[in-house]
């Protein structure tokens, strides 16, 4: 069984997806981490995040492995576990650029689909219900006011030890939103058969409860 959760940055997808997966005993696939891992390598290689040709060449000599430890997902790039290095503002900005490159999306497509063959999955990202798992059993699209999302993302960053103004987080998030929603390849849009949930005034537990109610109606 595959459950997809798509939505913009800072909407709470990761937290909700992780919890839902744990409650159901499913694997949790964070696809943003895969784009971030590619971005991490692009940054390390000193390549411009918009240099499509060099990034395509780079992917030719790159290996990416997804491991599940209990239900937590780890990402290994060329054998190195980079999971804890993926959530910095620099990697976020680069990931948004590299995710607009068709060769990157093509390269990550089979890697994502293979996880669906390992067992039941809760997969979250931007194009999961539309492109990666179009025949998923259940699809959710989460959205929330941009200010609310910036506050959530800011709290996450502060908790991880990053310093910076909330206005900067808001600007970065709005810029990424525009990039993610308007790119020509796999833009962020709800799948026609996705159930939308506005999380602006809901806490994590309330969102998960709503989802579980839908899951039990389907099972």
Write the binding mask 148 to 177 for ligand DC: x where contact by CB under 6 A, - elsewhere: ----------------------------x-
Among residues 3, 9, 16, 66, which is the contact residue for ligand DC, using CB under 6 A?
A: 9
Using the minimum distance from each CB to ligand DC, give the nearer residue, 36 or 154: 36
- Site size toward ligand DC (CB under 6 A) is 14
User: What order do you get walking across the sheet with 195-198 strand by strand?
Assistant: 27-30, 121-125, 2-6, 138-143, 195-198
95 binds ligand DC per the rule CB under 6 A: yes
Write the binding mask 20 to 39 for ligand DC: x where contact by CB under 6 A, - elsewhere: -----------xx--xx---
Q: What angle do CA 80, 55, 14 make, to 5 degrees?
A: 55
Strand, coil or helix: 144: coil
Residues 6+ apart with CB under 8 A from 86: 33, 36, 37, 40, 75
What is the end-to-end Cα distance of the chain in Å, rounded? 10
Among residues 127, 144, 169, 172, which is the contact residue for ligand DC, using CB under 6 A?
A: 127
Among residues 12, 49, 125, 129, which is the contact residue for ligand DC, using CB under 6 A?
A: 125
CA 86 → CA 38, 80, 82, 149, distances in Å?
A: 10, 13, 7, 19
Q: Which stretch binds ligand DC (CB under 6 A): 70-78, 120-128, 191-199, 206-214?
A: 120-128
Residues in touch with ligand DC (CB under 6 A): 9, 31-32, 35-36, 95-96, 99, 125-128, 176, 180
């Amino acid at each position: 069984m595959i459950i997809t959760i798509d939505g913009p940055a800072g909407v709470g997808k990761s937290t909700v997806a992780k919890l839902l997966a744990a409650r159901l005993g499913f694997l949790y696939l964070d696809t943003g981490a895969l784009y971030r891992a590619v971005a991490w390598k692009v940054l390390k290689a000193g390549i411009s995040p918009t240099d499509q040709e060099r990034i395509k060449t780079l992917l030719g000599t790159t290996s990416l492995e997804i491991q599940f430890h209990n239900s937590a997902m780890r990402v290994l790039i060329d054998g190195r576990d980079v999971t804890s290095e993926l959530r910095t503002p620099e990697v976020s900005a680069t990931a948004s650029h590299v995710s607009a490159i068709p060769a990157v999306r093509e390269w990550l497509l089979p890697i994502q689909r293979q996880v669906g063959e390992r067992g039941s999955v809760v997969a979250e990202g931007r194009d999961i219900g539309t492109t990666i798992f179009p025949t998923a059993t259940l699809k959710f699209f989460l959205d929330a006011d941009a200010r609310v999302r910036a506050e959530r993302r800011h709290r996450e960053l502060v908790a991880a030890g990053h310093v910076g103004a909330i206005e900067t987080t808001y600007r970065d998030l709005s810029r990424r939103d525009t990039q993610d929603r308007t790119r020509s390849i796999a833009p962020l849009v709800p799948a026609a058969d996705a159930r939308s949930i506005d999380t602006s005034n809901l806490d994590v537990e309330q969102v998960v409860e709503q989802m579980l109610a839908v899951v039990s109606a389907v099972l």
